[in-house]
C-alpha cells in the first residue's frame, strides 16, 4: 500500500512539473511571437516612414534641380537679351557718330543765316533797355493749374462710415505757380515735385484696390507732391488718361476741374491768413495721430468649475502726445480690408454637451449696435454644465484667428477630464466650417520642414523617439501664434498617443509669421528697456508712428510716449485691466484713420469710457 501511494504521489508531482514546463514553454513561445510581430510592425512603420521621408526628399531635390535649371535658363536668356540690346545700342551710337559731321555743317549754316537776318533788321528797330531784354527764365508749367473739386471718394476704406460723413468730399483745391487753395486756406511759396513711379512699388504698402480704377501704361504713373515753405501739403496722381486723383491718407478722390481761371485763387491770396495762423494750419495738418484696437481675452469663473473666457476690445488713441478718451466694448471689433467685423464666441448645444462656436460677421451702416446672436446660443456662460468643447481664442488678425480647442470626456464621470487639447488656425471668413489650415498653407514647404524637424527634436528630447505620426495632415494643422517678449511666434503641438495617456507637448517653429497673418510686429522700445522700468509687465506694443507705447501688467494698461527708443519719464495714462487679461489682437491706424476708426467703434458698439483724462489717473492713485 505504501509503495502505491508513493507511486501516485510521484506521478502527481511529475504531472505538475510537466504542466508547469508546458506553461513556461507556451509563455516563452507567445512572448517570442509577440516580439516578432512587434518587430515586424515597427519595421513596417519605419519602412513606411522612411519611404515617405525619402519621397519628400526626392521631391525637394527634384524641385531644387528644376529651380536651378530654370534659373540657368533665365540667366542665359537674360544674357542673350542684354547682348542683343548692347549690340543695338552700339549700332545706334555708331550711326549717330557718323551723322554728327553733317549735323555740325547744317548747324553752322543755320547760325550764319540767323546772324545775317538779325544784322539786316537791326537798322529799322529801336534797341530796348537792357533791363527789358535780360529776363530770367521762368517755369510756367503748373501740373494742375486752375480750380478743382474733390468730387467723390473712389474707394471706401476701413471705416464702416457712409460717404455722407466724409468731410473732404466736395472740398475745393486750386493751384497757381506760387499759391494753393486747400481746406479753405491759402498757402504761399508753393513748389511742385513731379516724379514718374512704378505703380507696383508705389502701391506696395497702400490700398491696391485703386489699381482697378487707374489707367496706366508701362506700369507707370505720375505722382505730384505739393509743398509750402518746404512743408508737405498735398499729393495727387496723374494717370495715362491725364485723370487727376487726390491722395489723402490712403484715400483717393477723383478731382474734377471746375474753372480754368486761376485769378480767383490769386485774388484770395491777397487776403491770406497771418503768419501765425499759417503755422497753426501746418501744425494741425502735421499732427501725429495714432490709434489702437486692442482685443483681450478675460478669464471668468463658471459653475462647472472649469473656467471660461469672455472677450472685449479697447480703443486707445493719441494725438500729438495727448491721450484721448479710451473706450471699451464686449466682443472683438476687427478691422479688415472690406470694413469692420465683429467676432464672438457662442455657446451652442452639441450631441455630447455644450460646445463653443466661433462666429464673425461684417458690420454694416444699417446694422447699428445690436449684434445678432444665433437663436440656439446660450447667453449665460456662468450657469452651464456638461461642457464638451471649449475654444479659447489666442490670436486674431485681419484674415486669420488662432484657437485652442479643449475637448472634455463627458462620460468619465468627472467634469474636468480632458480627452484632447489641440491648436488650430482658422480663416476669419469661414470660422465655423473649417477644421483648420495646414502650416504648409501658411508657409509653404518651409513650414512643413520646420514642423517635421521640430517634432523630431521634441520626441528625441522627451524619450518618445520611437513614436510615429500616423496622421500627418492633422498634425500639420496643430499650430497657432503665441506672444513672447513683445512679438508673435509660431507654436506647434503634438499629442504622442492621441489617447490622453501621455501629456501633449508644445514646441517652437523656426518660422517668421507672414505679413498676411501678422501685418505689423515691430518694437520701437526694446524689451529690456521696458522690463527695467516695469519688471512685472507682461507685454508691450508700440505704434508705427513711434509716438506711443502700450504696456500691460496683470491689472493695468500703461501708456507712455516714446522718446528716442525709450519710454518717456512721465506716464501718459493708466487704465484698469481685469486681472489675468491677455491680448489677442493689436491693430494700429494712423493719420486721419484715427478719427474714422473711433467714429465707427462708437457707432457700431455699446461702449463705455474707461479713461477720460488725467483726472482718472489721480483717482486711480
Segment 494-508, tens digit of pLDDT: 877 665 566 788 899
Whole-number mean pLDDT of the chain? 76
Cα(148)–Cα(146) distance, integer angstroms: 7
**3-class state of residue 347 by DSSP:** strand
CA-wise closest residue to 294 among 311, 269, 274: 311
E strand map for 436-555: 479-484, 487-494, 505-508, 539-542, 548-552
pLDDT at 298 over 90: yes
Cα(457)–Cα(504) distance, integer angstroms: 15
Query: How many CA atoms are closer than 13 Å to the CA of 554, on its beta-carbon side?
Result: 4
Buried/exposed 521-550: b ≥16 CB within 10 Å, e otherwise: eebbbeeeebeebbeebebbbbbebbbbbb
pLDDT band at 456 (very low <50, low <70, confident <90, very high): confident
Provide, rounded to the nearest whole percent, the portion of the chain with pLDDT above 90. Answer: 24
134-138, 350-354, 455-459: which is most confident: 455-459
Dihedral in degrees, nearest 10, Cα atoms 589, 590, 591, 592:
0
Convert the pLDDT of each residue in 183-192 to its tens digit.
Answer: 777 788 888 8
21-35, 271-285, 529-543, 585-599: which is most confident: 529-543
Phi-psi domain of 486 (left: phi exceeds 0; alpha: psi -120 through 50; beta: other): left
Convert the pLDDT of each residue in 578-621 to its tens digit.
Answer: 999 999 999 999 887 898 899 999 999 999 999 987 655 554 44
Convert the pLDDT of each residue in 373-411 to its tens digit.
Answer: 544 444 444 444 455 788 899 999 989 999 998 887 766
Predicted TM-score (pTM) of this structure? 0.57
The 10 Å Cβ neighbour count of residue 425 is 25
Summarize the confidence of residues 299-325 as an average pLDDT.
Answer: 89
- In terms of pLDDT, which residue wins out, 286 or 536? 536
pLDDT at 118 over 50: no
Buried/exposed 607-616: b ≥16 CB within 10 Å, e otherwise: beebbeeeeb
pLDDT at 325 over 90: yes
Cell of 235: 499729393
H or E stretch covering 407 = strand 400-408
Cα(7)–Cα(340) distance, integer angstroms: 98
pLDDT at 84 over 90: no
Q: What is the pLDDT of residue 207?
A: 65
pLDDT at 131 over 70: no
- In terms of pLDDT, which residue wins out, 121 or 231? 231
- In terms of pLDDT, which residue wins out, 84 or 43? 43
- In terms of pLDDT, which residue wins out, 61 or 97? 61
Q: What is the pLDDT of residue 355?
A: 82
CA-wise closest residue to 325 among 551, 598, 560: 598
Summarize the confidence of residues 350-357 as an average pLDDT.
Answer: 76
Q: Grid coordinates 485774388 are at which residue?
A: 267
pLDDT at 49 over 50: yes
pLDDT at 450 over 80: yes
What is the DSSP annotation of 312-343? Answer: EEEEEEEETTEEPPEEEEESEEEEETTEEEEE
Summarize the confidence of residues 155-164 as an average pLDDT.
Answer: 49
- DSSP letter at 217 equals B
Amino acid at each position: 500500500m505504501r509503495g502505491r501511494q508513493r507511486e501516485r504521489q510521484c506521478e502527481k508531482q511529475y504531472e505538475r512539473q510537466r504542466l508547469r514546463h508546458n506553461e513556461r514553454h507556451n509563455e516563452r513561445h507567445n512572448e517570442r511571437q509577440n516580439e516578432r510581430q512587434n518587430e515586424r510592425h515597427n519595421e513596417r512603420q519605419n519602412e513606411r516612414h522612411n519611404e515617405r521621408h525619402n519621397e519628400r526628399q526626392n521631391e525637394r531635390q527634384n524641385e531644387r534641380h528644376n529651380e536651378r535649371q530654370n534659373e540657368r535658363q533665365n540667366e542665359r536668356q537674360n544674357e542673350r537679351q542684354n547682348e542683343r540690346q548692347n549690340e543695338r545700342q552700339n549700332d545706334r551710337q555708331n550711326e549717330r557718330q557718323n551723322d554728327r559731321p553733317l549735323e555740325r555743317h547744317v548747324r553752322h549754316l543755320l547760325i550764319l543765316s540767323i546772324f545775317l537776318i538779325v544784322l539786316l533788321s537791326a537798322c529799322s528797330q529801336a534797341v530796348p533797355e537792357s533791363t527789358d531784354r535780360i529776363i530770367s527764365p521762368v517755369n510756367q508749367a503748373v501740373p494742375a493749374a486752375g480750380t478743382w473739386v474733390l468730387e467723390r471718394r473712389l474707394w471706401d476704406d476701413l471705416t464702416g462710415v457712409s460717404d455722407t460723413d466724409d468731410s473732404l468730399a466736395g472740398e475745393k483745391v486750386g493751384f497757381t505757380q506760387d499759391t494753393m487753395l486747400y481746406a479753405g486756406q491759402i498757402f504761399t511759396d508753393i513748389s511742385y515735385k513731379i516724379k514718374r513711379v512704378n505703380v507696383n512699388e508705389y502701391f506696395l504698402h497702400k490700398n491696391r484696390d485703386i489699381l482697378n480704377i487707374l489707367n496706366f501704361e508701362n506700369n507707370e504713373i505720375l505722382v505730384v507732391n505739393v509743398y509750402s515753405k518746404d512743408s508737405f501739403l498735398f499729393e495727387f496722381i496723374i494717370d495715362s488718361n491725364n485723370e487727376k486723383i487726390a491722395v489723402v491718407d490712403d484715400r483717393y478722390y477723383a478731382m474734377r476741374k471746375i474753372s480754368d481761371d486761376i485769378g480767383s485763387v490769386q485774388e484770395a491770396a491777397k487776403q491770406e491768413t497771418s503768419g501765425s495762423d499759417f503755422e497753426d494750419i501746418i501744425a494741425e495738418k502735421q499732427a501725429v495721430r495714432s490709434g489702437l484696437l486692442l482685443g483681450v481675452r478675460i478669464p471668468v469663473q463658471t459653475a462647472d468649475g472649469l473656467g471660461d473666457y469672455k472677450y472685449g476690445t479697447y480703443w486707445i488713441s493719441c494725438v500729438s502726445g495727448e491721450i484721448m478718451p479710451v473706450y471699451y466694448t464686449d466682443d472683438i471689433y476687427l478691422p479688415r480690408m472690406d470694413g469692420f467685423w465683429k467676432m464672438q464666441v457662442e455657446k451652442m448645444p452639441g450631441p455630447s454637451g455644450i460646445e463653443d462656436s466661433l462666429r464673425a460677421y461684417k458690420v454694416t451702416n444699417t446694422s447699428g449696435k445690436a449684434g445678432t446672436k444665433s437663436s440656439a446660443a446660450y447667453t449665460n456662460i456662468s450657469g452651464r454644465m456638461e461642457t464638451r468643447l471649449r475654444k479659447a481664442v489666442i490670436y486674431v488678425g485681419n484674415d486669420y484667428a488662432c484657437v485652442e480647442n479643449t475637448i472634455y470626456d463627458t462620460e468619465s464621470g468627472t467634469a474636468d477630464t480632458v480627452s484632447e487639447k489641440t491648436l488650430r488656425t482658422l480663416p476669419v471668413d469661414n470660422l465655423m466650417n473649417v477644421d483648420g489650415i495646414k502650416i504648409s498653407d501658411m508657409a509653404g514647404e518651409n513650414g512643413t520642414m520646420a514642423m517635421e524637424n521640430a517634432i523630431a527634436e521634441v520626441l528625441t528630447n522627451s524619450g518618445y523617439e520611437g513614436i510615429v505620426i500616423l496622421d500627418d495632415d492633422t498634425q500639420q494643422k496643430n499650430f497657432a501664434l503665441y506672444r513672447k517678449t513683445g512679438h508673435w511666434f509660431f507654436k506647434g503641438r503634438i499629442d504622442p498617443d492621441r489617447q490622453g495617456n501621455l501629456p501633449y507637448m508644445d514646441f517652437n517653429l523656426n518660422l517668421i509669421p507672414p505679413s498676411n497673418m501678422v501685418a505689423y510686429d515691430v518694437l520701437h522700445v526694446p524689451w529690456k528697456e521696458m522690463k527695467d522700468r516695469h519688471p512685472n509687465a507682461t507685454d508691450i506694443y508700440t505704434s508705427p508712428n513711434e509716438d506711443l507705447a502700450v504696456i500691460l501688467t496683470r491689472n493695468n494698461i500703461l501708456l507712455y510716449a516714446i522718446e528716442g527708443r525709450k519710454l518717456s519719464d512721465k506716464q501718459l495714462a493708466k487704465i484698469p485691466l481685469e486681472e489675468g487679461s491677455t491680448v489677442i489682437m493689436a491693430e494700429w491706424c494712423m493719420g486721419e484713420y484715427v478719427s474714422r476708426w473711433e467714429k465707427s467703434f462708437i457707432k457700431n458698439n455699446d461702449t463705455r469710457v474707461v479713461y477720460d483724462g488725467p483726472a482718472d489717473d489721480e483717482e486711480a492713485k
